Structure 1
Amino acid sequence: MSITPMWRVDRDGSMFTDKKAAEEYDRMLELAGNISSLLEDNFEINEELAEEIGLMFAKNKDTFAKAFKGKPDLVLEIGQASEAENNAEDEAEDEAAA
């Protein structure tokens, strides 16, 4: 019998077999939470939308950093990648339902 060490992220219960990946994911969730709080504190925005925006920024932090340093067109690529992801998810759901 083999034993596989697992790391659980307390914020959402996600499980990882790699400690570094778990810590990176936890930092991403922390950044997303802080962005969400910032949005809620400064704008009249519902909590769910603030969380979605926070996650989008946190997941794409490297691209945003490059965009802020002078490559603004990179931000448009985030939208295109998200749209492609959503289309793939929709197709997978349709296939599962069939």
Structure 2
Amino acid sequence: MAITVQYVVTHKEVEKLVTTDKKAADQYDKMLDTADNLAGFMAAMGVKMEEAHMEELSIMLAKNKEKVNKLLKGTSLDSVLEDSSAEVVKLKAGNEN
């Protein structure tokens, strides 16, 4: 009999991730904390939207924080999107072998 350790990340009492990789679980949990902070900040700044939309937006921003940081530092949208396209092409090329 084998013993497997699983890490379960929950958010608002809903399972969001189950993994055997502690580092991945910690990273995902940190991303969700960042998303909660972003949602709280947007609400405090007067942004009003349905809770589900606010959660979706804040999670998208948290997942893409490096790209958002580049945009906030003045990098052009085209450059950030071009970098994203290059990442997708590299992944596709890597999977074909």
Do they superpose with TM above 0.5? yes
Q: Classify 1:44/1:56 alpha carbon distance in 2 versus 1 (closer, same or farther; 3 Å).
A: same
Quote the residue 1:57 is aligned against: 61
Question: Are the counterparts in 2 of residues 9 and 22 from structure 1 also a CA contact under 8 Å?
Answer: yes
Letter in 1 for 2:53: L
**TM-score with structure 2 setting the length:** 0.67
TM-score, structure 1 as length reference:
0.67
Structure 2 stretches lacking a partner, 5+ long: 86-97
Matched, 1:35 2:38: yes
C-alpha distance in 2 between matches for 1:74 and 1:57: 17
CA shift, 1:21, in A, is 0.4
Contact 1:9 1:26 (8 Å CA) reproduced? yes
Alignment size in residue pairs: 80
Cα deviation code 1:23-64 (max 9, x no counterpart):
000000111111112222322222121111101100100111
* CA distance 1:71–1:19, change in 2 (3 Å): same
Specify the code of the residue in structure 1 equivalent to 2:2.
S
User: C-alpha separation between the residues in 2 aligned to 1:46 and 1:75?
Assistant: 31
Q: Which has the higher strand share?
A: 2
Preserved CA contact (<8 Å) 1:40 1:47 = no
Alignment of 1:1-98 (within 5 A): 1-11=1-11, 12-13=14-15, 14-41=17-44, 42-73=46-77, 77=81
The one-letter code matched in structure 2 to 1:10 is: T
Q: How many percent of aligned residue pairs carry the same amino acid? A: 34
Deviations 1:42-98 (A, max 9, x none): 2222212111110110010011112222313258629x87xxxxxxxxxxxxxxxxx
Structure number with higher helix proportion? 1
Shift of 1:22: 0.2
